[in-house]
Structure 1
Amino acid sequence: MQRVADNIAAFGGDPDKITLTYKGKPLFRGAIMNPGSAVPTDPVDSIKAQAIYDAVVQGVGCAGKADTLQCLRKAEYQKLLTSMNSVPAILSFNALALSYLPRPDGKFLVSSPEDFAASGQLTQIPFIIGDQKDEGTLFGLFTSNISTSDDFKDYLKTLYFTNTNPQIVDQFVGDAVFAMSRRAVLNITAGLQPGVKHWSYLSQYDRGTPVLGTFHGSDLIQAFYGIKDNFAASAIVNYFLNFAYNLDPTDASGGTRATEGEKSSSTGPTGRPASR
């Protein structure tokens, strides 16, 4: 970020208006998180993290070495890459129980994201945070062999909640609100940063699409990949541009017109009120 701030003026940018998208004076003044959440992560020395590391070590041929980390550092690139890609990825049965995450080590990353947010250490900047209505459908395509409630409970306990008990998993299964991490971030920041503006949205422009609906990543298709222009695409772009320029998605004074004249109480791209 410092490099961006130091050089953006040479490319016609404004170093005082840097906005992060996709998380003294800070190097950026706002953030757009789409989709946005605070995914809880186990520590770097957790059972799951160690199992992934051991699998990579085994695949490279470093198992049994006195210093497995140093062995990995000296491994051939292609062999290391192949081994790292051999563990479950996002489009697999494990889905969002990701193998590779920024795991807390107590030093560089001091805690899991939701704990860090609750500690009050988040930079106090305006942000937009939102989700797609059907975030999970894309990943559900790879878990079709889960056919009963017990299968689902076992799946969650094995891959997501390894240190919990069946009763907690039962409560999770009964919870219909799968955007809870986004809401948790909003609740935390509303309490700790009452003077900072935040906006949230829930997109459902593709709700008629069979099986997938408004799936994870569909907002990128709408906003950045030049599909046929429609209200959802233009609204997303304009709200984001307004925010980048004015730190307010409904303030069109920077030149965008689709949202001109709207205020924070107006409806967002989904037709639902934008909230702070």
Structure 2
Amino acid sequence: MRYGALQVLALGASLVHPAVATPVPAPNNDTATPTTASVKLAAGNVVGAVGEDGVEYFRGIPFAQPPVGSLRLKPPVRLESFESGEVQATGVGPACPQMTAIDPTPLLLGVLAIPGVQDTLFFGSTTGDEQEDCLTISVMRPAGLQNATDAKLPVLFWIYGGGFETGSPQMYDGSVLIPESVSQGKPMILVSVNYRLGAFGFLGGNQVLQDGAANLGLLDQRMGLEWVADNIAAFGGDPDAVTIWGQSAGAMSVFDQLALYDGDNTYKGRPLFRGAILSSGSLTPTEPVDGVKAQGIFDAVVEAAGCASAEDSAKLDCLREVDYETFQAASNSVPAYLSYDSLAFSFAPRQDGRILTASPETLALEGKYAAVPMIIGNQENEATVFSLFQANITTEAELVTYLNDIFFRSASREIVEGLVATYPPNPDSPAGIGPSNETYPEYKRLAAILGDWEFIFMSRLLLQSYPEDVPAWSYLSTYERGTPILGTFHATDLPHLYYLTDDMSKSIQDAYIAFVDCLDPNQYKQSNSSGYLSYWPKWQEKEKLLELGSNYTRVIGDDERAASFEYVRTHIESLRL
């Protein structure tokens, strides 16, 4: 049986003692707050809510025509004017349709019982209405701006993660970051964009390629950036001082935005952004939109939607014509990323020859991307949580078969065997915990391989391609090293960035705020609560990372598992999804 994310949350919650579970922050949606703010745009008036946290929230502003009916599975179409001349943006805004199927294995349920794990893992899960008409953008700014159009505040443009299957802007509010930016004397504006997910936004297949309907979620994000260029000045923002930031699939999307159209990030003759932050994600090596994997997913969705009997040229038209519930169910009919297939995404950006002209790692190695000042980094144990579903992998041979069949279908078995051979049977993953957390015989090796291949090594590969004269800073988070089974797992950075106000969290927030302000994370204002920051050297200086520990930072080398990295680098064309 497969459960939705909220069902798994409920199952896990029944195992977590309420006195020790960390609460997920609720969106700032206090309907009792009487104060509103309004901004006049070319499309019409936008009314937002003023929170008690000193932040003005304008959520759910439509930027594209509803992608429904004949516009389903089509590139976004710009919205020129609001239907009634005004938008009430005082709520949380809609979420795009979610792909929420999760396999609640006993091991997963046991891990959810660890205090705080479920809240971190599902941080950012949708709390509002899911609807197909979801192409909206949210703007959060300091309250009380005088002469807003002259303020020219820097802008942080957030792209949420969720495996290109789940996520929404709703939980990522400015209630911590914006007041902290004000206290630092570096006030900023936070923008979050909705983009289509699952089959709605990342369906592949030859029919999709021929129709020009590939990578729609990336086009949604790009149109959101164009909306910022056209409209953010009215909110007090500087369209020439935009930093794009994403986590997980959002970070992978950030690199894709750097690499779209071979690195052309201009709009109306001006760059859409000047800096980038990539948190737990960068390059995702993928086969083409019309490759075997993507075509198989297309065929499965078509079958589930009842469109298999249509001619090949009419299958997309059939998908556009079925009702929303049918298409949503079809999108959910293929494996999700919290399942046995793990990070072998059913839906992901793929090279189409126009928007993405090659696989992301190829674009990076060829320098076909907009190189801007960048912060990039990872959690120490990125893939432990994605390796909880494969308990039947008990031997090295079974591990090779799993990777060959699920992930690297184009690789020979010999190549996959060579990759696995670079890892010891019981690697230090999660780091510092020891063999007692080996939940099944190949758990730790699978977690190490997937974490390296998808996250750690791809960040290193991108950094090696980066121009020496464009500064890049990199980090490795280890602050949750004591978490049983998982270590410092994927998404543990999100509460530190958006919710927590402990000293380490404020230190990280202050470094990011400084980067948004002047493109240098070392230019933070020292305060009583940001004393953990060490000097952060550029990666190009000596290939060094800043380790973010539980109550310290220090500079370390970016050379972990060098032999495995070299193997992946030299076989990268065979190791694609």
Is this a same-fold pair by TM over 0.5? Answer: yes
Whichever residue aligns with residue 39 of structure 1, its letter is: T
- Tell me the distance in 1 between the aligned counterparts of 2:508 and 2:533: 16
After superposition, give the CA deviation of every residue in 1:65-84 in whole Å (9 maximum; x if it has no partner): 11111111111111001011
Whether the 8 Å contact between 2:504 and 2:532 is mirrored in structure 1 is no
1:16 aligns with 2:240: yes
Whichever residue aligns with residue 272 of structure 1, its letter is: R
- Tell me the distance in 1 between the aligned counterparts of 2:231 and 2:526: 23
After superposition, give the CA deviation of every residue in 1:206-255 in whole Å (9 maximum; x if it has no partner): 0001011111111012211x24x334312221111111111011111599
1:56 aligns with 2:296: no
SS in 2 for 1:182: helix
1:273 aligns with 2:560: no
Counterpart among 358, 369, 373 of residue 111 in structure 1: 358
- Tell me the distance in 1 between the aligned counterparts of 2:528 and 2:361: 34
- Tell me the distance in 2 between the aligned counterparts of 1:273 and 1:213: 20
Q: CA deviation at 1:272?
A: 3.4
SS in 1 for 2:510: helix
Q: CA deviation at 1:264?
A: 3.3
1:242 aligns with 2:514: yes
Whether the 8 Å contact between 2:546 and 2:556 is mirrored in structure 1 is yes
Counterpart among 231, 239, 249 of residue 7 in structure 1: 231
- Tell me the distance in 2 between the aligned counterparts of 1:96 and 1:142: 11
Whether the 8 Å contact between 1:207 and 1:213 is mirrored in structure 2 is yes
Q: Which residue of 1 aligns with 2:342?
A: 95
Whether the 8 Å contact between 2:503 and 2:530 is mirrored in structure 1 is no
- Tell me the distance in 2 between the aligned counterparts of 1:256 and 1:194: 34
1:260 and 1:48, CA in 2 relative to 1: closer, same or farther beyond 3 A? Answer: closer
1:263 and 1:207, CA in 2 relative to 1: closer, same or farther beyond 3 A? Answer: closer
After superposition, give the CA deviation of every residue in 1:111-170 in whole Å (9 maximum; x if it has no partner): 111011112121120111100000011111122221211111111001111011122112
After superposition, give the CA deviation of every residue in 1:30-66 in whole Å (9 maximum; x if it has no partner): 0100012201011011111111000000001100211
Whether the 8 Å contact between 1:30 and 1:126 is mirrored in structure 2 is yes
SS in 2 for 1:48: helix
- Measured on the aligned residues, the alpha-carbon RMSD in Å equals 2.3
- Tell me the distance in 2 between the aligned counterparts of 1:19 and 1:255: 24
Q: CA deviation at 1:268?
A: 4.9
Counterpart among 471, 474, 478 of residue 197 in structure 1: 471
1:231 and 1:166, CA in 2 relative to 1: closer, same or farther beyond 3 A? Answer: farther
Counterpart among 315, 319, 330 of residue 68 in structure 1: 315
Whether the 8 Å contact between 2:506 and 2:529 is mirrored in structure 1 is no
Whether the 8 Å contact between 1:19 and 1:30 is mirrored in structure 2 is yes
Counterpart among 482, 488, 491 of residue 208 in structure 1: 482
Q: CA deviation at 1:263?
A: 3.7
- Tell me the distance in 2 between the aligned counterparts of 1:33 and 1:60: 35
- Tell me the distance in 2 between the aligned counterparts of 1:268 and 1:203: 6
Q: Which residue of 1 aligns with 2:504?
A: 232
Q: Which residue of 2 aligns with 1:183?
A: 460
Larger RCO, structure (CA 8 Å, separation 6 or more)? 1
Whichever residue aligns with residue 181 of structure 1, its letter is: M
Higher strand share: 2
Q: CA deviation at 1:275?
A: 8.0
1:109 and 1:255, CA in 2 relative to 1: closer, same or farther beyond 3 A? Answer: farther
1:150 and 1:262, CA in 2 relative to 1: closer, same or farther beyond 3 A? Answer: closer
Could you tell which deviates more after superposition, 252-261 or 116-125?
252-261
Q: CA deviation at 1:274?
A: 7.2
Whether the 8 Å contact between 1:242 and 1:256 is mirrored in structure 2 is no
SS in 2 for 1:134: coil
Instruction: Note the 1:21-32 alignment, pairs <5 A.
Output: 21-22=245-246, 23=254, 24-32=269-277
- Tell me the distance in 2 between the aligned counterparts of 1:28 and 1:254: 27
Whichever residue aligns with residue 475 of structure 2, its letter is: Y
- Tell me the distance in 2 between the aligned counterparts of 1:267 and 1:216: 18
Whether the 8 Å contact between 1:250 and 1:260 is mirrored in structure 2 is no
Whichever residue aligns with residue 213 of structure 1, its letter is: G
- Tell me the distance in 2 between the aligned counterparts of 1:203 and 1:13: 31
1:151 and 1:272, CA in 2 relative to 1: closer, same or farther beyond 3 A? Answer: farther
Q: CA deviation at 1:98?
A: 0.3
SS in 2 for 1:17: strand
Q: Indicate the percent of aligned positions where both proteins have the same amino acid.
A: 41
In structure 2, runs of 5+ residues without a counterpart are 1-224, 247-253, 255-268, 424-448, 538-544, 559-577
- Tell me the distance in 2 between the aligned counterparts of 1:274 and 1:245: 26
Aligned length: 271
TM-score (norm 1): 0.91
- Tell me the distance in 2 between the aligned counterparts of 1:175 and 1:239: 36
1:34 aligns with 2:316: no
Say which one has the larger Rg: 2
